[in-house]
């Protein structure tokens, strides 16, 4: 199966709404991260406004990296 000309791998997925709840952020922020390539996933159809489905492991990786950056920023401000 393909989406937008890309091979779709059978991996656990999560909706953008559920990803936003998991990350404690807005759906808009999640979609921005998807469009910038920070979170991997795909659209359900070729239509520009079609729903986005995100790979669960990509959302979890994004969360870990975000938390690591936050910790590093705090540590750099506390000598």
Q: Please give the distance of CA 4 from its chain centroid, rounded to a whole number.
A: 18
Q: Check: pTM over 0.75? Answer yes or no.
A: yes
Q: Where are the beta strands (DSSP E) in the chain?
A: 2-3, 6-7, 13-15, 41-43, 52-55
pLDDT surpassing 50 at residue 1: no
pLDDT in tens, 29-71: 999 999 999 999 999 999 988 999 999 999 999 999 999 998 9
Question: Quick one: pLDDT band at residue 7, thresholds 50, 70, 90?
Answer: low
* Domain segments of the chain as ranges: 2-77
- Classify domain 2-77 at the CATH class level: mainly alpha
Question: Quick one: pLDDT band at residue 4, thresholds 50, 70, 90?
Answer: low
């Amino acid at each position: 199966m393909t989406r937008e000309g890309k091979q779709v791998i059978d991996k656990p997925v999560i909706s953008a709404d559920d990803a936003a709840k998991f990350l404690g952020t807005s759906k808009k922020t999640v979609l921005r991260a998807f469009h910038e390539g920070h979170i991997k996933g795909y659209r359900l159809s070729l239509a520009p406004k079609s729903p986005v489905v995100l790979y669960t492991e990509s959302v979890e990786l994004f969360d870990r990296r975000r938390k690591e950056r936050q910790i590093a920023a705090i540590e750099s401000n506390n000598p």
